[in-house]
Structure 1
Amino acid sequence: MATQANVVPPSLVNELSELKRRMSAIERAPAPVNKFDRYPSVEWAAVGRGRLGQNEWSSCGIANVTGMVFDRVEVKYITDRIIKGRSEAEIRLAAFRHYGNAQREVVSASATMWVGGETNRVIGTGTIQWIHGIPFGWDYADDTTIYTIELQHRYASASQTPDKVNVRQMFGYSKMSNENLKNTDGIISNPDGKIWAPGLSAISGGVPYYGWVDVEDRNDVWDGSYNISNMHYCVGLPAERLPNASVKGNFWYRGTSNIKGVRDPDITEPVFYV
C-alpha cells in the first residue's frame, strides 16, 4: 500500500505533543526561592518499634514533598538497641504517590542497608543521600496527587530476641479489687487463732486465686525491639550540595561497623499499607 506524502506517523505526533507539553511545563516552572527545600524537624528521640504484620516495610518517618524543587534529598535519623544477633534492622528510603481515597503506592526506593549492631547497646546516627526520582512539582499529571518520602525499616530476620524474664516473686493469694470478702467464716485459722489464709468461700465467686506474684516491674525487661527515630530532617538540595547522592542512595552510619548494603532498590517488596 502506498504511503501518503506529508503525513506524519502517529508515534511522531505523540512525541511532538509530549515535547510541546514539556516545553510549556518548563516555561511555567517555579523559580527556586531557596537554596534548599525545607521540611519540619522532629523530636530527637529513638522510639521502640516492634515488627508489624509479617515483617513488611513500615515507615517511621514521613515528609510531604509535594512540589519539591530538587531531585536530591538528605535524611538524618538515630537508632538505639540494634543488637547483633537479637534486633538487627534493615533501613531504606521510599517515595510514595498518594491518590484517591487514602490510597498510596511506592514509586521509587533506595537500596536496602542492613544494620547488625554491636553486642552492647549503642546510639547510632544515620544519614542517607538519595536521588528520589519523583517528578518535579510542575510536572504532575493532576492537581490532587501528593508525594511523600518516607524512612522505612523492618527486621533483618523474622525473629526478635527479648531479654529473659527474671524478676522477684512472692507466693500469695490475690483477688480483683471489686471482689470483697464475704465474712470471716471463710478464713482459715491456725491453732493459735491467727488468720493465715482465706478459705474456699472467703472470696465472692468461690475458690481464691493463689500463686506466684511479681514484686518487680516486668516493663523494665527489654522486649527485643530496636529503636529508630523519625527523620530529624528531610531536606532537598541541588547537585552541587549533594554530589554523592545516587539512585541507590549513599548511606552513612555511625555507631557500628557492622553494616552493609544487601539489596538494590526494589519497589515490589511488601509494604505495610496504613
Structure 2
Amino acid sequence: MPTRANVVPPSLVNELAEVKRRLAAIERAPAQVNKFDRYPQVEWAAQGRPQVGGNIWSSFGIANVTGLVFDRVEAKFITDWLISGKREAEVRLAAFRHTGNAQREIVSASGVFNLTGLATRQVGVVVMRWIHQIPYGWDYTDDTTIYTIELQHRYKKGPEKWDPNRLQIFGMWKREKDKPASDSGGTEVGGGRWVTYQAGSDRSPIGYVDIPVERPADNDVFGSYSLSAMHYCVGLPAERIPEATANGWAWARGTNSSWGRGPDLNEPHFSV
C-alpha cells in the first residue's frame, strides 16, 4: 500500500499528543486570563451537624479540584453553638482520590485544628490555608479520576446528652400505635386501658415524659454545634497566601482555637 508524503504514522501522532498532555499537566501553568482557581460552595450559613458514625471524620464541605493548578488552597466557614468545655469541634482539610464505585481514598490531610468555642454562644468565622500535597502530574494518568478537597469535622467534646431547657412531667405513657393490653395488668383510665407492665421489655411506661414545646429553631440544639460548608476553596499562588503549609494555617474569630495533633491518614473517616 503506497504511503503519502508528509503523513506521520498514527501511533506517533498519539504518542506526541500524550507527551504534550503530560508536560502540560506536570508544568501546571495557569492560563493567563486566570488569577486563581475558584471552586465556590453555595452554603454560607451555620447548620446543625450532630455526631455521626461513632464520631469519625465527616465531610461538610467538598470542592472538586480535578485539574487544580496551584498547590495552595483557602477555605472559609462559620461556626455556631461552640461552647467551651461542652461543645467543641475538631476540623481539618483533606484531599481524596475518587476512583469509581462511590469509593475514595485519602491522599493527604492537614493537621487537626481545635475549635473550643467561648463561654457563651457566638457566631464565629474561621479561615484555613493549606498546601494540599497532591503530587505534580497527578491528573495525567487518565481522564476519569476525580480529586476533591474536603473540609471535615468531628466532636472534640460533646454533644450533651440532654437539652437543659426541656421540661418533663411524671406520668403514664404509651406509643400512639400501641394498643392497650387488657391481659397485661392494665389500669382503667378514662375509658382506655394503660399498660403498667410489658413482658419482655426493659422499659416501663410510667415515668418522666417530655412536654412538647414549640421553640425557636436556634434553641433546639440538643448539644449540637453548627458549622457551615466551605464558603469557597481556591487554588492560589505562593505570593497570594505565603502562610499556607503542609500542616495548615488558620485564623479564627468568635471562638477559641488551637492546633492539635499533626496529619494522620489512618484516622477513621467516611469512605464514600
* TM-score between the two structures when normalised by the length of structure 2: 0.73
Tell me whether 1:63 sits opposite 2:63 in the alignment. Answer: yes
Task: Tell me the alpha carbon deviations over residues 36-86 of structure 1, each in whole angstroms, 9 at most, x when there is no partner.
Answer: 101123221111111111211110000000001111111000011111111
Alignment partner, residue 225 of structure 1: 224
Distance between the aligned counterparts of 2:247 and 2:127, measured in 1?
Answer: 14
24 and 46 in structure 1: CA distance in 2 versus 1, 3 angstrom threshold: closer
Tell me whether 1:198 sits opposite 2:226 in the alignment. Answer: no
**Aligned residue runs from structure 1 range 45-194, under 5 A:** 45-136=45-136, 139-157=139-157, 159-161=158-160, 162-164=162-164, 166-167=166-167, 169=169, 176=176
- Is the contact between residue 67 and residue 137 of structure 1 (CA under 8 Å) also seen in structure 2? no
Alignment partner, residue 261 of structure 1: 259
Aligned amino acid, residue 190 of structure 2: A
Tell me whether 1:244 sits opposite 2:236 in the alignment. Answer: no
Q: Could you list the runs of 5+ residues in structure 2 that have no partner in the other structure?
A: 1-18, 180-187, 195-204
Task: Tell me the alpha carbon deviations over residues 225-263 of structure 1, each in whole angstroms, 9 at most, x when there is no partner.
Answer: 11001001111111111111111111111112x321111
- Is the contact between residue 93 and residue 150 of structure 1 (CA under 8 Å) also seen in structure 2? yes
**Aligned residue runs from structure 1 range 16-35, under 5 A:** 25-26=23-24, 31-32=30-31, 33-35=33-35
- Is the contact between residue 71 and residue 136 of structure 1 (CA under 8 Å) also seen in structure 2? no
Q: Which has the larger radius of gyration?
A: 1
Deviation at 1:198, TM superposition (A): 2.1
Secondary structure at the counterpart of residue 96 of structure 2: strand
- Is the contact between residue 92 and residue 110 of structure 1 (CA under 8 Å) also seen in structure 2? yes
Secondary structure at the counterpart of residue 260 of structure 2: strand
Distance between the aligned counterparts of 2:244 and 2:82, measured in 1?
Answer: 26
Deviation at 1:222, TM superposition (A): 2.8
- Is the contact between residue 52 and residue 272 of structure 1 (CA under 8 Å) also seen in structure 2? no
Deviation at 1:140, TM superposition (A): 2.9
215 and 163 in structure 1: CA distance in 2 versus 1, 3 angstrom threshold: closer
- Is the contact between residue 129 and residue 248 of structure 2 (CA under 8 Å) also seen in structure 1? yes
* TM-score between the two structures when normalised by the length of structure 1: 0.73
Aligned amino acid, residue 122 of structure 2: V
Distance between the aligned counterparts of 2:30 and 2:174, measured in 1?
Answer: 71
- Is the contact between residue 28 and residue 70 of structure 2 (CA under 8 Å) also seen in structure 1? no
Q: What is the aligned residue count?
A: 232
Alignment partner, residue 42 of structure 1: 42
Distance between the aligned counterparts of 1:61 and 1:80, measured in 2?
Answer: 16
Distance between the aligned counterparts of 2:88 and 2:178, measured in 1?
Answer: 44
- Is the contact between residue 74 and residue 128 of structure 2 (CA under 8 Å) also seen in structure 1? yes
Identity of aligned residues (%): 52
Q: Could you list the runs of 5+ residues in structure 1 that have no partner in the other structure?
A: 1-20, 180-187, 189-195, 202-208
84 and 25 in structure 1: CA distance in 2 versus 1, 3 angstrom threshold: same
Distance between the aligned counterparts of 1:236 and 1:81, measured in 2?
Answer: 30
Distance between the aligned counterparts of 1:267 and 1:177, measured in 2?
Answer: 47
Distance between the aligned counterparts of 2:55 and 2:207, measured in 1?
Answer: 37
- Is the contact between residue 96 and residue 105 of structure 2 (CA under 8 Å) also seen in structure 1? yes
238 and 222 in structure 1: CA distance in 2 versus 1, 3 angstrom threshold: same
